[in-house]
Amino acid sequence: MHMTTSVERRRFLKSIAAAGLILPGMSIYQHALAEVPGLDLGAGQPFDFADLIARAKSMAQAAYEPPVAPNPEIVGRIDYDTHGKLHYKRDHSPFSDGSGTYPVTFFHLGMYFAKPVHMYLLEDGTAREVIYKPDYFDMPADSIARQLPENSGFAGFRLHEELSRDDWKTQDWAAFLGASYFRAIGDEGQYGLSARGIAVNTATSQPEEFPDFRQFFIEPAKNAEDPVTIYALLDGPSITGAYKFLLYRGQGVTMDIEKHLFVRRDIERLGIAPLTSMFWYSEQNKSFRFDWRPEVHDSDGLELWTGSGERIWRQLNNPETIRASAFADHNPRGFGLMQRDRDVKNYLDGVRYHRRPSLWVEPQENWNDGAVQLIEIPTDDEIHDNIAAFWVPNAPAKAGNSYQFKYRLHWQAHNPFPVAELAKATSTRMGRGGEPGTNRPKDEVKFSVEFEGDVLGTLAYGEFPEIVVSTSRGEITRTKIEPIMDTRIWRAAFDLKAAGTDPVDLRMYLKRGDAPLSETWMFQHLPALGNQHQG
């Protein structure tokens, strides 16, 4: 059996010490009698969030030291299949003895999660590291993972349902795994899109960076109404940070996040409260024989609630090249990547896309001037996260800058702040311009947007809303609105004539008199791609 040499071990210890990953006065060789059944815990050390913030600030003033796998040759051989056979034993779960409401289990290192993350249990201001041991995992007798040394670290962790539930051992509701990624289930009980601690240079001229959560400090909830408190230390080539998460398990999951960021070197695009999702196709961009399912996506649109109070719905695209859209704002009230289509018949898939959560960001303080930016990346399969949305402050992110943000994440099926007085856009469809039975113009595209909402039921018999539609280029013709028979849906349609292949930004809403009846529908039409779909 291959063992890590003393030289390799010293190199590993030196690397995490240089990065500030050992608490002051702590030695990872120190062990005390475990107070958690079956766990080997390090010596107790005082912990304070203010100290974690100070440590992140200090790290930003030093050169970046990347995390080092304890034995790269072994970790690199723990492939997808091998990793899938490594299961954390539930009888080693912290807080499963009743000291907390929600037990914790840990993810093993592997080829795709090779960077060690150090886990600490926190209670009454004292932190104790969970020392990795292969014995914590059910693994085949011949698994290469058995050759990793103790204290190799973990890849991440997850929170299980409360102990009072008979199924807590098999059901979890939040997980932190990989770089600064984390996710939670919504009120439909399903995982879907992810959030990140930070986004650095996404879709820019510089290579994108993926800073890592290097340490987690987990403080249990004493009852189901209390939050699980998570502190995290972030480190990357261009930025460091200290985070505090309050995780509430209620109707879906709610997370209060406070983060302190310190820029180590200039960043071209700094994304705050980043959301990451997948959009392959929906009813508006599916090609003939594209795939057998009607729709495949974790999210179908970006929803915005601007500082001025406007509600906007931007249907997502799967473009032919990377697209970045910016929605300038001052003190936004919220934004989110949403899964509006909840009809199982529109997916016909065993992976429950109709139950994937929406994720809404609610700022808890003024964010001043900036923009919600939407990044859309081409994909030809559902296995790739190709959508990102985040807040970008107006001022450049220069080395030496520091930031503090507070916001709340709502993981649930729908927007937590609905407006009954406004109808919502629920479907976007495209087709040939012109009218049935006529000689259809080949250079025009028809857009049909379906609106639903109780407010539309207040229209008098024979009363029709007014369409207000505009385009960044080209000509709008044949606007029309009509109720769809035997439904509570109104269809707003128009034709667009726009030469060339440059993108066209469309905007539309319904109104009655001077008052809006609907949110603002926005769409970026990609003529070249649209022609392929129509062909």
Q: What is the pLDDT of residues 388-408, one digit of tens each?
A: 999 999 999 999 999 999 999
Q: Does the pLDDT at position 119 exceed 80?
A: yes
CATH number of the domain that residue 356 is part of: 2.70.98.10
Residues 411 and 477 in one domain: no
* 243 assigned to some structural domain: no
Q: Is residue 121 part of a domain?
A: yes
Mean pLDDT of 233-240: 98
Regarding whether 155 and 275 lie in a shared domain, the answer is: no
Per mean pLDDT, which range of 127-141, 269-283, 368-382, 521-535 is the poorest?
521-535
pLDDT-based confidence at 95, cuts 50/70/90?
Answer: very high
Work out the burial of residue 476: count CB atoms within 10 Å of its CB; fewer than 13 is exposed, 13-18 middle, 19 or more buried. Answer: middle
Asked whether the predicted pLDDT for residue 203 surpasses 90, the reply is: yes
Confidence check: pLDDT of 23 > 70:
no
Domain of 270, in residue numbers: 179-221+248-418
Q: Is the pTM of this model over 0.85?
A: yes
pLDDT of 63 strictly over 80: yes
pLDDT at 52 over 60: yes
The reply to whether 168 falls in a domain is: no
How far is Cα 173 from Cα 190, in angstroms, rounded to an integer? 9
| Rounded-to-integer distance, Cα 107 and Cα 227, Å | 22
Give yes or no for residue 416 having a pLDDT over 90: yes
Q: Which pLDDT score, from 0 to 100, does residue 485 have?
A: 84
Q: What are the start-end ranges of the E strands in 227-316?
A: 228-235, 239-250, 252-263, 270-277, 279-281, 296-297, 301-305, 311-315
What per-residue confidence (pLDDT) applies to 529?
Answer: 63
Average pLDDT over residues 196-210: 97
Position 399 in a domain? yes
198-207, 302-311, 409-418, 427-436: which has the minimum mean pLDDT?
Answer: 427-436
- Let me know whether 210 and 344 are in one domain: yes
Residue 300 has pLDDT above 90, yes or no: yes
The per-residue pLDDT for 305 is: 98
Kindly indicate the confidence band of residue 288, based on its pLDDT and cuts at 50, 70 and 90.
low
Is residue 262 scored above 90 in pLDDT? yes
Domain boundary at 128, 161, 194, which? 161
Residue 18 pLDDT: 41
- 321-336: per-residue pLDDT in tens? 999 999 999 999 999 9
Average pLDDT, the chain: 91
Domain CATH for 430: 2.60.40.10
Average pLDDT over residues 492-496: 97
Tell whether the model's pLDDT for residue 10 goes beyond 80: no
Task: Give the pLDDT confidence of 64-90 residue by residue, as tens digits.
Answer: 999 887 889 999 999 999 999 999 999
Residue from 239, 233, 243 nearest 264 by CA: 239
Same domain? For 154 and 115 the reply is yes
For residue 73, give the nearest of 3, 160, 171 by alpha carbon. Answer: 3
Residue 47, pLDDT score? 98
Asked if residue 155 has pLDDT above 80, the reply is yes
Phi/psi at 73 (nearest 5 deg)? -65, -40
Which tens digits make up the pLDDT trace of 461-490?
Answer: 899 999 999 999 999 999 999 999 888 899
Contacts 24+ apart (CB under 8 A), 529-532: 529/285, 529/317, 529/319, 529/320, 530/430, 530/445, 532/287
148 and 184 part of one domain: no
Structure-token pair, residue 258:
């406070």
Residue 232 located in a structural domain: no
455 and 317 inside one domain: no
Q: Is residue 7's pLDDT more than 90?
A: no
In a domain, 487, yes or no: yes
- Whether 524 and 446 map to the same domain: the answer is yes
pLDDT at 22: 41
Rounded-to-integer distance, Cα 374 and Cα 327, Å: 8
Reported as a pLDDT band with limits 50, 70 and 90, residue 267 is very high
pLDDT of residue 123: 93
Q: What per-residue confidence (pLDDT) applies to 107?
A: 98
Tell me: do 401 and 437 sit in the same domain: no
Q: Are residues 101 and 134 in the same domain?
A: yes
SS3 533: helix
In this predicted structure, what is the pLDDT of residue 36?
Answer: 66
pLDDT at 30 > cutoff 90: no
Domain count, the chain: 3
Judge contact between 334 and 360, C-beta under 8 A.
yes
> Is residue 170 in a domain?
no
In this structure, of 2-6, 302-306, 361-365, 410-414, the range with the lowest mean pLDDT score is 2-6
Phi, psi angles (nearest 5°) of residue 182: -155, 160
- For residue 233, being part of any structural domain is answered with no
Residues of the chain with pLDDT > 90, as a percent, come to 84
On whether both 95 and 216 belong to a single domain, the answer is: no
pLDDT bracket for residue 21 (50, 70, 90):
very low
Nearest-angstrom CA–CA distance, 450 and 468 = 14
Last residue of a domain, one of 418, 450, 469: 418
- State the pLDDT at residue 289: 65
| Whether residue 287 is found in the same domain as residue 404 | yes
Tell me the mean pLDDT in the region 374-401: 97
Is there a single domain that holds both residue 37 and residue 130? yes
Examine the fold and report which residue of 418, 440, 469 is the final residue of a domain before the chain moves on: 418
